[in-house]
């Protein structure tokens, strides 16, 4: 009797594509969870947990993301300057106006595994505030994400 062989993906056999996602009027968390799955490669039948086999993701219109409830006013993003007493905070409303790419990058970063693999995965995420992006030469495939409320 012939056995079926299980194939495991590695960096040499991974075929990475480019995906274009428009997040206009999308909820931040719902969009971030689907982007994290595409970055990890969970949408492929050859998904291997310990391998970077996902696609490059180009996100456009990040400045038009939405928050549900009162998160736009209540949610705060913290960072530390490295000096004593150097904790700084900014509300989600100001962060979305000032650096809309950081809002989505922080949400996707929180949904990736906490190991060295995630540091290589997050480098494949390209976020732009408006509809212009410099990755047209890679011919990204437009993907519609679900989960709009």
Domain ranges of the chain: 18-68+101-143
Q: Pick the closest to residue 41 from 59, 14, 65, 64 (CA basis).
A: 14
The pLDDT of residue 10: 86
Structure tokens at 71: 């998160």
The pLDDT of residue 148: 57
pTM: 0.91
Residues 11-60: pLDDT tens digits?
888 889 999 999 999 999 999 999 999 999 999 888 999 999 899 999 99
Residue 149 has pLDDT above 80, yes or no: no
pLDDT band of residue 7 (cuts 50, 70, 90) is confident
Conformational region of residue 68, where left means phi above 0, alpha means psi within -120 to 50, and beta covers everything else: beta
Residues 77-109: pLDDT tens digits?
999 999 999 999 999 999 999 999 999 999 999
**24, 142 contact by CB (below 8 A):** no
Structure tokens at 107: 């949400």
Helices 100-110 & 28-40 angle (0-180, nearest 10) = 60
The pLDDT of residue 82: 97
Name the architecture of domain 18-68+101-143.
Alpha-Beta Complex (3.90)
What strands lie across the sheet with 56-60, from one edge to the other?
A: 125-127, 56-60, 18-22, 141-143
Strand ranges inside the chain, DSSP E: 18-22, 56-60, 76-80, 87-91, 125-127, 141-143
């Amino acid at each position: 009797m012939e056995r079926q062989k299980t194939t495991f993906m590695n960096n040499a056999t991974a075929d990475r594509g480019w995906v274009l996602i428009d997040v206009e009027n999308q909820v931040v968390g719902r969009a971030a969870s689907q982007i994290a799955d595409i970055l990890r490669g969970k949408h492929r039948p050859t998904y291997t947990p310990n391998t970077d086999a996902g696609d490059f993701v180009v996100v456009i219109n990040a400045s038009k993301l939405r928050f549900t409830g009162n998160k736009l006013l209540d949610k705060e993003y913290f960072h530390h300057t490295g000096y004593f007493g150097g904790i700084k905070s900014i509300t989600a409303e100001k962060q979305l106006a000032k650096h809309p790419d950081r809002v989505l990058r922080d949400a996707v970063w929180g949904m990736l595994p906490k190991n060295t693999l995630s540091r290589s995965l997050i480098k494949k995420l390209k976020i732009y505030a408006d509809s212009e992006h410099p990755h047209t030469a890679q011919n990204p495939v437009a993907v519609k994400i679900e989960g709009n409320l």
